[in-house]
Structure 1
Amino acid sequence: MPILNALPGRFFAHSRSARLSRGLATIAPSSAFHIPVIDFSKFRTATTPAEKKATADEIVGAFKTAGFVYLAKHGISDAVVQRAFLESKQFFGLPQEVKDSMAWADPRSNRGYVTIGRERVTQSKDAAAIAAMRQKAPDYKESMEIGRDWDSVWPNQWPKTEVLPSFKPFMLDFFQTCHELHMVVMRSIALGLDLQEDFFDSKIDKQCHNLRLLSYPAIKRALLDKDANQARAGAHSDYGTLTLLFQDQVGGLQVQHPHTGEYIAATPIPGTIVINVGDLLSRWSNDLLRSTLHRVVAPPAKAISETEAMTPARQSIAFFSNPNFDAEIECLPNCGTSPKYPPVNTEKYIVGRLADTYS
């Protein structure tokens, strides 16, 4: 996309005072919350350790302050991303009974179709409270969860080949592509934390990840307005190391300012991937890297009558990257002498959070 040549190295401002001029983001005051746009090709093509370290420091610096970056020139082509959205749209366009036949059933598996209202993401760990929130104001979205396909105990669920012939092979390739990008970004984080570049490699190589296709159907504004807590996805942090988020141009993602509590729009930027720190990476770093609360709200509605308006449909794709399920997460050697958290097993932590979310 032509906008990318101008964006890397600049900060994209998200405060209310931010404005666009000639297609570029105007820099907000220093006190405003911002998510940097980082040219990742500088890390991939670096010819000296100093060049690599410079980009690594940019990424870690952003994760320390905002917990989010826009990654530009990341190596995944626009054509591949567009194809991923097309395959996802075709899946969600299947008859409801076909999608329901692949229903999500188990938090350890975390695979299959999740119908509208089945999930209620939140920071609460109280199962009864989450159930009450789900009953009153469920997240208005549907999703398809895909994991590593060679797991014989917890297999993926796929539509039949005659229904969507290219869906499975494409999504398996896309899963691998996202995993490989995640590995490289984690190497940049290792350097930015003054660790060996390959420090995380053996701890994230088993691909215990979750590729989530998301569809937010169009909805009448009145339905969203019935309850102040109703959202397309409630405020939450992610569970693992990093989340790679591919957005369409509808928008709706909001990130919480860590100091004021205000939610700021993470406006889609063509050609970039939004990447944020998850809870386990934050915990690994003794909270040096920030796992920031975020949510998805409905974009401005379009009037369909004198008394009613409709919010547009939205698509996104999230690749939730996790450490290996047998990894023990404890304070990294150079992230403080007083660990804030006891060691925790990856699988136990993530499955516990999923069980709370869906129970």
Structure 2
Amino acid sequence: MAIPIVDFANWKSEGSNRRQVAQDIVTACRKVGFVYIINHSLHEVLLEEAFQWSQRFFDLPQEEKLKAPHPEGWAVHRGYSWPGLEKVSQAFSAENDEERVKQLREIPDIKESFDIGSEENPSQPNQWVPEDSLPGFRTFMNKFYWECFRAAGEVLQALAVGLNLEENYLLRKHSGHNNQIRLLHYPPIPAEALESHRAARCPAHTDWSSITVLFQDDCGGLEVENPDQPGNFIPATPVKNAMVVNIGDLLQRWSNDVLRSTSHRVTLPPLSDRFEGKQRLTRKRYSIPYFLAPDPDSVIECIPSESGEPPKYEPITPAEYNQMRASMQY
């Protein structure tokens, strides 16, 4: 299996070239669930600046980062999460299963993150460090949030066209206020801790929402499961300035399983660039995923099948689905 690369340059053109871009993206998301998109509309200078701000934030003293902590519990998904707070898993629960949570947390995730959403989402209030802790951070991140929504929205439009739907069929359920930027830092960790499974970076999981648009540094470590060979993961090798786009669970459900939400994980980087120093420390790694999500009270029901296949799923709202997933994560 290889993760396809699609050149997005022709999306702004007319006619057959534009439709070919859409069809290529849908084909990748049917077969693999992941696609690299190059020549998208986010400028490389903006991406470089976003990574610079991310590194500045994580370089702050811990007491400064803790001035914007992730709120207790799972309901609000904003602010700073320190190493060990979050446990990514594929578990679902409608109720808080304390024994299951305890088992999951026996192997901690060694990463730290900072989650940001729309400033106009009262149910998910942002948690910011004071302006004098990192001047300009809030202003830039708010700008970057809406630029990412614009670019990710274009991909969602292309998916709709590739599915033979009206261009805004999927996008119209996305106001942009329910999305999320996640700044991620994987600090150096002894390789032996990962090899012996005493710790993890980010275990295998699928994403919850419509699509994820990911930007990663040159470290490596992201792996994607081969849908035809469960348990077999391949590297998602960094491609400079490319978007790594993957389908989320809600869009798989929405498409009646036409599009594929594929499991992925972050583990040791490639052999040629894996360790630093005598202690065999992993390199630090930075990535920025942007999760594009439908509005929480919108109803997600299966798109009518061209072949007449009946819906596989009952209608659900994103708020109901997220509760099942988030209650197991924090």
TM-score, structure 2 as length reference? 0.93
Q: 1 CA distance for matches of 2:123 and 2:294? A: 19
**After superposition, what is the alpha-carbon deviation per residue over 1:190-239, rounded to whole angstroms, capped at 9, x for unaligned?**
111111112123211243111100000011122223327x3210000000
How far the C-alpha of 1:131 sits from its partner, in A, is 2.1
User: Of the candidates 118, 136, 148, which is equivalent to residue 148 of structure 1?
Assistant: 118
What residue in structure 2 maps to residue 164 of structure 1?
134
Match of residue 211, structure 2, among 225, 242, 248: 242
The equivalent of 2:186 in structure 1 is 216
Distance 1:282 1:71 in 2: 19
Instruction: Please give the secondary structure, in 2, of the residue aligned with 1:357.
Output: coil
Q: 1:303 and 1:81, CA in 2 relative to 1: closer, same or farther beyond 3 A?
A: closer
Distance 1:189 1:154 in 2: 28
- Structure 1: state its 5+ residue gaps: 1-32
Is the 2:217–2:238 contact (alpha carbons within 8 Å) kept by the matching residues of 1?
yes
SS in 2 for 1:113: strand
1:297 to 2:267 alignment = yes
The Cα shift of 1:326 comes to 1.4
Distance 2:121 2:105 in 1: 33
Deviation at 1:54, TM superposition (A): 1.1
Hey, what does 1:30 align to over in structure 2?
none
Assess if the C-alpha contact under 8 Å between 2:87 and 2:105 holds in 1: no
Letter in 2 for 1:107: W
Matches within 5 A, 1:80-159: 80-105=46-71, 106-125=73-92, 127-128=97-98, 130-159=100-129
How many Å apart are 1:288 and its aligned residue?
0.6
The answer to whether the 8 A contact 1:60-1:193 is kept is yes
CA offsets per residue over residues 309-343 of structure 1, 9 Å max, x none?
Answer: 11110000000110111111111023653111111
Deviation of residue 180 (structure 1)? 0.7
Q: TM-score, normalised by structure 1?
A: 0.86
- What is the match of residue 316 of structure 2? 344
Shift of 1:120: 1.3
Which residue of 2 is the match for residue 287 of structure 1?
257
Report the CA distance between 1:109 and its aligned residue. 2.2
Give the distance between the partners of 1:130 and 1:234, measured in 2 at CA.
16
Partner of 1:9: none
- Counterpart secondary structure, 1:213: strand
Q: Are residues 175 and 130 of structure 1, via their aligned partners in 2, closer, same or farther at CA, if it must alter by over 3 Å?
A: farther
Distance 2:275 2:10 in 1: 41
- Size of the aligned set, in residue pairs, is 321
In the alignment, which residue of structure 2 is the partner of 1:326? 297
Residues 303 and 60 of structure 1: is their aligned pair in 2 closer, same or farther, counting only changes over 3 Å?
A: closer
Q: Percent identity?
A: 37
Any gaps of 5 or more consecutive residues in structure 2? none
Greater shift in the superposed pair: 247-256 or 104-113: 104-113
| Aligned equivalents of 1:111, 1:130: Cα separation in 2 | 24
Cα offsets for 1:64-99 (capped at 9, x unmatched):
000000010001111111110110111111111221
- Per the alignment, residue 26 of structure 1 pairs with none
- Against the structure 1 CA distance between its residues 83 and 206, is the aligned structure 2 distance closer, same or farther, given a 3 Å change threshold? closer
What's the RMSD between the two structures over aligned residues?
1.6
Residue equivalent to 1:19: none
Aligned partner (choices 275, 283, 286) of residue 315 of structure 1: 286
Runs of 4+ in structure 1 over 3 Å off: 126-130
- Indicate whether 1:34 and 2:2 are aligned: yes
Is 1:47 matched with 2:14? yes
Out of 139, 149, 172, the residue aligned to residue 179 of structure 1 is 149
How far the C-alpha of 1:170 sits from its partner, in A, is 0.6
Question: How far, CA to CA, are the matches of 1:120 and 1:271 in structure 2?
Answer: 28
SS in 1 for 2:193: helix
Q: 1:86 to 1:133 in 2, by over 3 A?
A: farther
Shift of 1:268: 0.3
CA contact (8 A) 1:238 1:278 kept: yes
Does the Cα contact within 8 Å between 1:179 and 1:207 map onto a contact in 2? Answer: no
Is the counterpart of residue 356 in structure 1 residue 323 in structure 2? no
Sort the Cα spacing of 1:128 and 1:225 in 2 relative to 1 into closer, same or farther, 3 A: farther
